[in-house]
Amino acid sequence: MLWIILILFLLLLPLGVPVGLILLMLSVAYVIMEPALMDVVLAQRIVQGTQSFPLLAVPLFILVGELMNISGISRRVMDFAAVLTRRVWGGLAQTNVLLSTLLAGMSGSANGDAAMQAKIIVPEMTKRGYPLPYSTALTAVSSLIAPMIPPGIGLILFGFVTNTSIGQLFAAAIVPGFLLALMMLVQANITTRLNKWDPPRGAQPGDPSLGRAFLGALPAIMLPILIILGIRGGVFTPAEAAGIAVIYTIVCVIAYREASWAEMWRALRSTVSTTAAILLILAASTAFSWVLTFEQVPQTIAGGLLSFTDNPTLMLALIALVILVAGAFIEGTALILILGPIFLPVTNALGIDPVHYGVVFVLMAHLGGVTPPVGTIMFTTCTITKTPLIDFTKAAFPMILTYLAFALVLIFVPVFSTGLAHL
């Protein structure tokens, strides 16, 4: 019967049916075909998938990102990043990467980060002489930094479905997030230097001073620090941290007085629609995971993977490869909710730190967002900037190789992710 479910999945996915609806339909179909299962249990599982206190953090952090976009903080952070990079090759390209890094602590979402920067910074890069495919690809790939820096939504969801400490995951992702940003900065510098794009320039009339630019960006810089110290210090839980982050951002919105009531309303509507999409996937994946557990799929996969190798590092690399392939067809959030718990028995059996596993998983799960054929971030940025997908793919390829190289470093050097988590 499991083969029928697999065939239905492969038939529905290319048709563009949302992953949440596919999982829901497959779960219902399985219960109909399997007389040993009661339909009321399926309904209970669907509801149970959204009944968790830590999940309150998801809509609240999404709201933080939406409010940040209308508050004026984004522009101030961009000014600060531009001041830091104006004296180096590829200053605006590096501003793009720095902006993703500094705003990650307030958005936590790769899609939101990419959409905002595609509208703001890509037109400026085009004026400076950057090829449009390169600007679009850099914006898309650099947005993958956002899920790796607290409060990344992917980290929250992974912690929920695998029962891993969200606070430890937040702490574990800090160093990998900044190392990923550093590698992208180095690559942007080398690429722009070789192609003679955007040479170094001095201060221009009207440019803010470093001190003034830093003060403007300080609210965005302080928020992730506040969240991490509060959670690790036991002052508040991740869900409470999200509530405090919303209040913090609202204070910024009021202080800057740049957002209109219409923009506030749009931010709330966007938060509701994004949260609804995530909860649909979460409810459906919980039901589908129950079906897979009934069929003993996790145990079967665990046995199959353990027959390949019992080396923890090689096993983590093998899991990362599976996630890379699956991520080309399934959106990152769904991937975390479906495969995260399935591979957990394997990693536990080999003694792999669940925090290390979680950071590697989230890192690899979001890469599919910038790869064909169903990369959501790729489609978002290409639609906004009107870049052909073929040109985007060619420009993004070297950046994806850098990303994969970093993933290998993270797999083979676990201290980068476990060091802060276990302090």
How many residues would you count in the chain? Answer: 423
Q: Work out the average pLDDT over 6-15.
A: 75
Residue 1 has pLDDT above 70, yes or no: no
Distances (CA, A) of 31 to 18, 74, 297: 20, 48, 16
Q: pLDDT at position 293, please?
A: 75
Residue 6 has pLDDT above 90, yes or no: no
Q: Provide CB contacts within 8 A for 10, sequence distance 6+.
A: none
Residue 414 has pLDDT above 80, yes or no: yes
pLDDT in tens, 320-369: 988 888 887 777 778 888 888 888 888 888 889 999 999 999 999 888 88
Tokens of 297: 């799929």
d(CA 120, CA 107): 16
Q: pLDDT at position 400, please?
A: 92
Percent of the chain with pLDDT over 70: 94
Q: Work out the average pLDDT over 30-40.
A: 76
In terms of Cα–Cα distance, which of 14, 13, 43, 11 is closest to 27?
43
Residue 250 has pLDDT above 80, yes or no: yes
Q: Sign of the CA dihedral 225, 230, 231, 233?
A: positive
Greater confidence, 146 or 315?
A: 315
In terms of Cα–Cα distance, which of 220, 198, 195 is closest to 81?
220
d(CA 234, CA 198): 46
d(CA 331, CA 341): 16
Q: pLDDT at position 9, please?
A: 75
Q: pLDDT at position 418, please?
A: 86
Q: pLDDT at position 407, please?
A: 93
Write the single-letter amino acid at 327: G
What single DSSP character describes residue 373?
A: T
Q: Give yes or no for a contact between 241 and 150, defined as CB atoms under 8 angstroms apart.
A: no
Q: pLDDT at position 370, please?
A: 86
Residue 231 has pLDDT above 80, yes or no: no
Distances (CA, A) of 363 to 133, 179, 281, 356, 376: 24, 12, 19, 11, 16
Q: Provide CB contacts within 8 A for 355, sequence distance 6+.
A: 164, 165, 168, 169, 172, 417, 418, 421, 422
Q: pLDDT at position 408, please?
A: 93
pTM of the predicted model, to two decimals? 0.81
Q: Work out the average pLDDT over 382-407.
A: 89
What value does the mean pLDDT of the chain take? 82
Q: pLDDT at position 155, please?
A: 87
Q: pLDDT at position 404, please?
A: 93
Residue 108 has pLDDT above 60, yes or no: no
Most confident of 16-20, 44-48, 92-96, 175-179: 175-179
What single DSSP character describes residue 330?
A: S
Residue 273 has pLDDT above 80, yes or no: yes
Greater confidence, 55 or 206?
A: 55
Greater confidence, 168 or 258?
A: 168
Q: Work out the average pLDDT over 46-67.
A: 77
pLDDT in tens, 207-221: 677 777 788 778 777
pLDDT in tens, 112-162: 677 777 877 888 888 888 899 999 999 889 888 888 887 778 888 888 888
Q: pLDDT at position 207, please?
A: 67
DSSP 31-67: HHH-TTS-HHHHHHHHHHTT--GGGGHHHHHHHHHHH
Q: pLDDT at position 409, please?
A: 92
